[in-house]
Amino acid sequence: MGETPGTLTLVATPIGNLGDMTYRAVETLRSVDLILAEDTRHSRRLMSHYEIATPLVSYHDHNETRVTPSIIERLQRGENMALVTDAGTPGISDPGFYLVRAALDAGITVTMVPGANAVLPALVLSGFPSDVFVFAGFPPRKSGALARAVESLTNEPRTTIFYVSPHQLHKVLESLAQRLPDRAVAVARELTKLHEEIVRGSAIEVRDIFAKSTPRGEFVVVVKGLGRRLRADGEDDAQP
């Protein structure tokens, strides 16, 4: 290893369809010295598919504090590393943010190979205004905090997007139906996968649709902002 510090590259990976892997992502993962993966067992299947033999090391919520110093030390010694998440873009609602901050603080060059993510496809497919929007990550798990988060959307003019786990979907949709019953909502399920589905309707209608079954897969919930209807000329009309 030389004295010049290495580079940390965040590499986006498919959120479902393996065909969404970019050429540059494959080349980068083959060329680095080490790949940091949220779940090495999950990522190993992707690496095998693209014949990427680079060593994998676990980097996740439960070990980030412990292993980050040694990772930074290796980067400072000149190793080049890539960071991947289980699916999509690393650093969004995952431990990648912690490593990026540590690397930047240590003077390490951080770069990005962009690619798949679930936020933008869900937003565009919702049909809601997309010129201004809010990504709110995962909603609170506790009922009181969830209720407050939903109530904060009462006068929110922007489209709001949440990642929602299968076991929390009914709870989130119920809270939306109770507090914003007539608000337009879209739920994107299994984006890019064989059973991709977009369900649109009022909060009550969407809640009732999903109440009929046990949620399976990955979900993105998109909530339309208050009083916004995009006209053909690009201007917004106020809605009651």
Record the tokens describing residue 121, joined without a space. 């496809």
Which pLDDT score, from 0 to 100, does residue 94 have? 81
Which pLDDT score, from 0 to 100, does residue 238 have? 45
Which pLDDT score, from 0 to 100, does residue 228 have? 53
Q: How far apart are the first and last CA of the chain?
A: 64
What burial class does residue 167 get, using C-beta atoms within 10 Å of its C-beta: 0-12 exposed, 13-18 middle, 19+ buried?
A: exposed
- Triad 111, 117, 118: Cα angle to 5°: 155
Give the separation between CA 214 and CA 80, rounded to whole angstroms. Answer: 43
Which pLDDT score, from 0 to 100, does residue 149 have? 97
Fold of 7-113: Cobalt-precorrin-4 Transmethylase; domain 1 (3.40.1010)
Which pLDDT score, from 0 to 100, does residue 135 have? 97
* Chain centroid, CA 229 distance in Å: 26
Instruction: For the chain, 240 residues long, give each residue's pLDDT as a single digit of tens.
Output: 457 999 999 999 999 999 999 999 999 999 999 999 999 999 999 999 999 999 999 998 888 889 999 999 999 999 999 999 999 999 887 888 899 999 999 999 999 999 999 999 999 999 999 999 999 999 999 999 999 999 999 999 999 999 999 999 999 999 999 999 999 999 999 999 999 999 999 999 999 999 999 999 889 999 999 975 555 554 555 453
User: At 54, which amino acid appears?
Assistant: T
Record the tokens describing residue 58, joined without a space. 């676990």
Q: What is the pTM of this model?
A: 0.88
* Level-2 CATH architecture, domain 119-230: 2-Layer Sandwich (3.30)
Which pLDDT score, from 0 to 100, does residue 62 have? 85
Domain locations in the chain as residue ranges: 7-113, 119-230
Record the tokens describing residue 27, joined without a space. 């080349």
Closest CA to 112 of 34, 13, 30: 13
